[in-house]
Each structure stands twice: as C-alpha cells, then as structure tokens.
Amino acid sequence: MNAIISASGLAAELAGGEPPVLLDVRWQLSLAKAAGEPPFDGRAAYAAGHIPGAVYVDLDAELASAPGPEGRHPLPDLEVFGAAMRRAGVSAARPVVVYDGGQGWAAARAWWLLRWTGHPDVRVLDGGLPAWQGELTTDVPRPEGGDFRPEPGETGFLDADDAAALARSGVLFDARAGERYRGEVEPIDRVGGHIPGAVSAPTTDNVAPDGRFLPAEELRARFKALGADDGTPVGVYCGSGVSGAHEVLALAVAGIPAALYVGSWSEWSSDPDRPVAVGPDPQ
C-alpha cells in the first residue's frame, strides 16, 4: 500500500463512488509567541478554504497531549484521539487521506498515529494543499460518525530508553536541521545537541523544492547511505515528534519500516541526567 497519494489521484478518488475520509491538519511550528505575534491558526486557515469534504483536525488538541515532561507533543490520550477520528468519519474499513499546508509534518503525524493505532489504509497528500489543483470551499461537512477504535501497535513506537538502545544496536535518525543536531543553535529546548549515536538526517532533504517527496529510489539510496541497510532496525526522532513522523513517512515511501520516538529531543533534553552529544560526530 502506498503511503502517499498525488493530487490527481486524490481528485479521482474523491469523484468516485467510495471517496476516502479526508482530514485537514494544517499546523505550523511557530516561534511567533516569543516575538509577541499571534501563532499560526490552522482552524482559521481551514475556515478560509479547504478541499471539499475535508474535516479539520487540531494537531495540538487531538493529535497530542499537553506539553510536559514527556515532550512538547506527547502522545494524545487515545480516547480523545479516537473520539476526534470518529467525529471526522474515520472507520476501520474506509481509506483515509490526510493533508496539511504543504510542509507535510502535521499530516505525517496524523498518518503515523492512525497507522500505529491500527488503521489499515492511510495516505498523505504529496505536496499538501499547494499541490491541489481543484476548487476549495468554505462549507463545513457533517460526516456520519465513524467506528475507528485506536489500538496501539506492538511496534513503531519508541520511548527514551528504546531510542538510546536503538542508537547503539541499529540506526537512529535525527530529523532536525543539522545545526540543531550539532548543538550550534537551539531555539526551543533546554540544550542543543543530539542523542549519542544518532545520525543526522534532516527531513527537509527528503523532499523536492515543491514539497513533494523525492522518488522512492532516491530516498532508498539516501537512507542506505546513512546506514539503513536491509534488515537494520530504524528509528527517528526530531524536536517533538512531528517532523520525525514526516521522516518515518519518507522511509515508508522508500520501503523501509521505522519507529518514531514521539517524545523526541524535547523530552530527552528536559532530563539533565540524559547524555548529550554535540558536533557532527554521532557519538
């Protein structure tokens, strides 16, 4: 099953007899509050225009719990998440397509959560809303309630101890920008650097300038060059488990299964007893 869908493919499916459930998860990591500016408002962006039939999902409220010791975007309460998905019309037997404003991070977070909790058919719109060539609407759909009940999977999720172990026994990718990995800058978290043993693999290098994923062959070659050989256990982390989900999605496009450390650097760095590596060397 493909993890992504093109805009033309989505248009064809929406025009068919059994269209997928469509989720709009527009969100941006914003430092605007620190500058006294209002943060990005995904719900307002949705209200101003969205793909017909799409239901808005709030990443901060429905795809994550409140920030705390487990990170800035810890796992959501699964009852809250499940209720939000059912309100949006998500059912186990109906395909789901997720999109965001083009960066792909938020859509990937929804994709990963649905896949990890048991939904069998979830895809992300490649390139997000900017790739869509059809009309937009301000009409808000009222879908029939779905039946999806999230059940956490036995694989695909890492906690801090799992991530530390995987950095030694397999490959742990750090999806943040290289300067944050090296500890040269840290605009958000307590300290800069990376988990000892993690390999720098910025998620921005997985996409073309238009925001669409690179071809699967190119992604596969990239990750192989970074250590993800056949059979090697692979994990990903980022700042708070959002852009890291986008890298897990890129790995899926490449045909490489990977787990996500949801707490990511925001959880890891909050504990002064956890080791921190700096510089370009993984160790």
Instruction: Return the active site residues.
Output: 238
CA distance 170 to 163: 10
What helix, strand, coil percent values describe the chain, rounded to 5?
A: 35, 15, 55
Residue 77 CB: number of other CB atoms within 10 A? 13
Three-state SS for 149?
Answer: coil
- CA–CA separation, 209 and 212 (whole Å): 7
Length of the chain: 283
Q: In what order do the strands lie in the sheet with 234-237?
A: 157-158, 259-261, 234-237, 171-174, 199-200
Provide the residue type at 176 as one letter: R
**Cβ-Cβ contacts under 8 Å for 277 (sequence gap 6 or more):** 193, 194, 195, 196, 197, 198, 283
Report d(CA 174, CA 241) in Å as an integer.
11
Closest among 173, 163, 231 to 198, alpha carbons compared: 173
Q: What DSSP character marks residue 180?
A: H
